[in-house]
């Protein structure tokens, strides 16, 4: 690393859990953020500033006015230009850290393109807002042995789950089938407290750093936090289920 690079990440490299060796791993990492809304923009922001060397953000949507309350990479200028989220995110992340490679992809993530989107990734981050896409990500990551981190935020509560194929339970192990449409709360129906997103995305981004640098105490279950009622809980799991359609079968 050059002196300039060391200076940028100085407060990070002097932390004993990361150091210069960990920073080199971060700079070499390839992370794909699927979904660039509330949690996705927060996660991508953290990882760009952390120095993840190759960062890809994928989203099909365009910026709307109500996004600005919690989607931290966007502003009124992006809205006025009617930009796709992935395009605006790429531009903002490049401005945050010009030393890393950032790619914004405007597309709908589906079963046909997910494997190409995550090919070569060190890690995949969930920034989506629906379980259908999460299950597609889960199955592809399990198939290709790529760790991924589930992140969800709605109302005043959120969850984070770190999934390492072959070691931890996957999303299907924990939740089995996709919840029926309309059976779970969404930001459209229950709203969302803006700072909650930063809390949960910060937990997931920290998990990403620990996975990449191979240090720290990893979350092996589900972390659930509620910023309105001041609750913080951690639920354990028993590893991959033999009867799980993704892991076991």
Alpha-carbon span 249 to 43, nearest angstrom: 31
Whether 141 is catalytic is no
Phi-psi region of 120 (alpha: psi -120 to 50; beta: other; left: phi over 0): left
| Catalytic residue (choose from 141, 173, 187, 247) | 187
CA angle 82, 87, 88 (to 5 degrees): 65
Alpha-carbon span 116 to 139, nearest angstrom: 13
Of 58, 33, 45, 42, the residue nearest 96 (C-alpha): 45
Alpha-carbon span 101 to 96, nearest angstrom: 12
Strands (DSSP E) contained in the chain are 30-34, 54-59, 101-106, 123-126, 148-154, 157-163, 222-226, 231-235
Q: Which position has the token pair 């996004």?
A: 67
Strand partners, 154: 157
Token couple for 14: 């002097």
Phi-psi region of 90 (alpha: psi -120 to 50; beta: other; left: phi over 0): alpha
CA angle 26, 27, 28 (to 5 degrees): 90
Alpha-carbon span 71 to 55, nearest angstrom: 18
Active site (catalytic) residues: 187
């Amino acid at each position: 690393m050059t002196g300039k690079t060391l200076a940028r990440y100085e407060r990070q490299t002097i932390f004993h859990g990361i150091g210069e060796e960990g920073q080199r791993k971060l700079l070499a990492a390839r992370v794909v953020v699927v979904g660039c809304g509330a949690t996705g923009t927060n996660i991508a922001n953290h990882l760009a500033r952390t120095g993840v060397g190759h960062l890809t953000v994928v989203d099909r949507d365009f910026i709307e006015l109500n996004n600005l309350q919690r989607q931290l990479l966007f502003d009124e200028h992006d809205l006025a230009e009617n930009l796709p989220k992935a395009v605006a995110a790429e531009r903002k992340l490049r401005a945050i850290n010009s030393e890393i490679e950032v790619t914004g992809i405007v597309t709908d993530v589906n079963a046909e393109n997910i494997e190409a989107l995550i090919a070569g990734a060190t890690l995949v981050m969930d920034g989506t807002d629906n379980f259908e896409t999460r299950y597609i990500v889960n199955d592809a990551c399990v198939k290709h042995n790529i760790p991924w981190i589930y992140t969800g935020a709605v109302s005043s509560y959120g969850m984070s789950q770190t999934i390492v194929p072959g070691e931890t339970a996957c999303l299907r192990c924990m939740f089995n089938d996709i919840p029926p449409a309309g059976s779970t709360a969404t930001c459209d129906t229950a709203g969302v407290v803006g700072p909650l997103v930063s809390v949960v995305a910060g937990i997931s981004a920290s998990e990403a750093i620990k996975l990449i640098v191979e240090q720290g105490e990893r979350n092996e279950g589900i972390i659930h936090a509620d910023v309105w009622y001041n609750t913080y809980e951690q639920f354990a799991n028993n590893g991959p289920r033999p009867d799980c359609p993704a892991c076991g079968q």
